[in-house]
Every structure is written in C-alpha cells, then in structure tokens.
Amino acid sequence: MNTGVRRIPIILILTFSALTGVSCESREETVNCFPRQQVGVQVFLNLPRFQPLQHPGGWVYLDDPGSGTRGLIVIRTTMGFNVYDRNAPHLCPGPETTLEVKDDIKIICPQDGAEWMLLTGQPLKIAKIAPKRYNYTFDPASSTLTIVDY
C-alpha cells in the first residue's frame, strides 16, 4: 500500500539533526583567553558621577567592584543602554588591551588601533567582533541600572 509518504532513512535524519545542531550553537564572542569573571553591579543614575547617562550618547567608565577585570563602558542609547567590557574582545589581555572611548563616538584598543562604534559596538577597523556586552535591567522609578552577566 502506497500512502504517498516516503520514508527517510534514519541515518539521514540523524546526520541532518547533528549538522543543524552544530550550526545553531552560539559561538564565542571573544577570544578563548578572554578573562572570565562574574559581573554584577548597580548604578544609581541620580549620583553626580553618572550624570552623563541621563541623556542619549552620554557614557561613563565603570570601575566599581563587580564590574569585571578592567571595568565597563556604559553608554545611554535612545532605546536604553549598552554595556561593554573594557577587555579587548579580539586579543588576549595585555598592558595595552584596555578599551578606551575616543572623541565620544568610538571605542579604541590602544595596542592595535582596532575601533568600534561607541553607540552600537559595531566593528570599524581591525577587529571583526564587537566588544563583549552585558545584560542589564533599568528601573526608571529609582533610576537604577543593574548590570549582570547571565
């Protein structure tokens, strides 16, 4: 009896499933020697040092406890915030691999001159990957930004 349904060999299904699983895995967003340290910090935007974060385009360096091995760059966007690790994502840590903001529009790596857009993290020069980003929640009622690595 022909039902119009062809049976696909089980080996073909398993092979396809395995290949699909590999291609859908999340890739590492940094080099394998990137420092692994838990990040968890609260930023109270009503404090004077965080005044730049009151308006889109404003940014600060965050070097408080819980902000990683080299600190964070926090920028206010029109839709929220972006939080970047200051470790260069494409190089193993060294004396000149702490990312810096330049001219309020770019992030640069002093070691090799790699550049990224500050607002979006998009690579501009040399590096092919964006700086590592961290998740956050923002409570507008208390002006509290909570940054976490999960």
Contact indicator for 101, 110 with CB cutoff of 8 Å? no
Mean pLDDT computed over 51-60: 97
Asked whether residue 122 carries a pLDDT value surpassing 90, the answer given is yes
Alpha-helical (H) ranges within the chain are 10-24
Higher-scoring residue by pLDDT: 31, 79: 79
pLDDT at 28: 53
Asked whether residue 88 carries a pLDDT value surpassing 90, the answer given is yes
| Mean pLDDT, the chain, integer | 84
Q: Domains plus CATH for the chain?
A: 50-148 (2.102.10.10)
- Percent over 70 (pLDDT), the chain: 79
| Tens-digit pLDDT profile for residues 6-53 | 443 444 343 333 333 333 333 356 678 787 888 999 999 999 999 999
Mean pLDDT computed over 54-79: 96
pLDDT at 37: 81
Residue 1: both structure tokens together: 């009896």
Could you give the CA distance from residue 92 to residue 30 in angstroms, rounded to a whole number? Answer: 9
Could you give the CA distance from residue 142 to residue 16 in angstroms, rounded to a whole number? Answer: 50
